[in-house]
Amino acid sequence: MAAVRVEAMLAAAEEQEAEKRRSITVEKELELEYDLGNLLATDRNPPPAAALRGAGPRREALLQALARDNTQLLVSQLWELPAERAGGAGGPLVAQLPEPTFPLPREKPPPKPRPPTRWEQFARLKGIRRKKKTSLVWDEQAKEWRRRWGYRRAGGDPSRAWLAEVPAGADPEEDQFARLRREKRERVARNELNRLRNLARAHRAGSAVPAAPLHPTGHQDRDELRRVARVARVSTASLGRFQPRLPKEPAEPPSRSGGKKRRFEPLLGNLAAERSRQLELLRDMGSKKPVLDITRAVNKQLRQEEAEAAAANKGKKQSKRGKRGRRQQRPG
């Protein structure tokens, strides 16, 4: 008797549990696809087209039922996520969302990494690495840890330095304080100039700015002007052959035409050079040694292959440099 009652009770309890769980279960033919990072769910089941073609209120009710089912499934998934109580025991329940997986296009193209500065290129070539410096330095005079530079630095305030030694071999009459100030100003100016040059180089590299305009702008440096002058000289109908030169310009353009076959030397110039050239030609023709030095050629080829392999490895290794590489690439 008791056993039957216990069984009945258990059955009733299970029935209740199932009832509760039924309220949140939804039957679907195809499972939904979830992207919880975006709070997104996709239902691939074809909706009941015939029913939805009907009139207003029934359609709305159907759409609402469909939406309710789908939302129930999505919320169940969200409730399964690892959650914690934010702000102590009484705070709201907060779930950790995963990264969104749905591929969406970006707003703007990804930023290009800044090209290395002149120093960074040199350091990479030489293999110089950054030395980690401590932020505080022990100051003997003040007997405490002071900053390396900045407010209250370790060596005392440089503008309050009351003693400036005359270095050996300097003019005794010279004002040392003025010299120090002038040198600091020059250093700052040079640093600023180099920084702007690096920025301009980066900007030029990034934006593919076309070649310099042919008229002088006042902001061009020496080699740019030289390039521009050369282009201007050659832009005549006779390709610059009859262009008069300035008093200090070099007489002949330094083989801009390039190559052995385009060097037009005067006919009756240097007799000795002509003689030596002809004799060398005869010697080469008569000698038994082959013109192509096999060992040199092979060595050159090997070196070229090694350089290519090193470049490929360097490319791979640089991407693996991780923190250090990224630290050096931070914008200045």
Partner 1 sequence: SIYYYRKPKTKRAKRFLEKREPKLNENTKNAMLIRGGNANLTVTEVLKDIYAVKKPFAVLYKRKNITRPFEDQTSLEFFSKKSDCSLFLFGSHNKKRPNNLIIGRMFDYHVLDMIELGVEKFVSLKDIKNSKCPEGTKPMLIFAGDMFDVNQEYSRLKSLLIDFFRGPTVPSIRLAGLEYVLHFTAVDGKIYMRSYKVLLKKSGCRIPRIELEEMGPSLDLVMRRTHLASDDLYKLSLKQPKGLKPKKKKNISHDAFGTTYGQIHMQKQDLSKLLTRKMKGLRKRPAEKSAEDGGATPKKSKSA
What does the binding site for partner 1 look like in residue numbers (CB under 8 A)?
16-17, 19-21, 23-24, 37-47, 49, 52-53, 60, 63-64, 66-68, 70-72, 74-76, 78-79, 83, 86, 92-97, 100, 102-111, 199-200, 202-203, 319, 322, 326, 331-332
Burial of 114 (0-12, 13-18, 19+ CB in 10 A): middle
**How distant, in Å, are the alpha carbons of 48, 157, 187 from that of 312?**
58, 50, 39
Which residue is listed with tokens 């060097």?
A: 263
Two structure tokens written together for 136: 């505080």
Burial of 53 (0-12, 13-18, 19+ CB in 10 A): exposed
Two structure tokens written together for 261: 């076959």
C-alpha–C-alpha distance, residues 62 and 46, integer Å: 14
**How distant, in Å, are the alpha carbons of 42, 163, 328 from that of 23?**
22, 88, 58
Residue 331: name the closest of 110, 113, 109 by CA.
113
> What kind and span of H or E run contains 33?
strand 33-35
C-alpha 215, offset from chain centre = 34
Residue 232: name the closest of 221, 224, 250 by CA.
224
Instruction: Tell me how far apart the terminal alpha carbons of the chain are, to the nearest angstrom.
Output: 86
Two structure tokens written together for 275: 């003689």
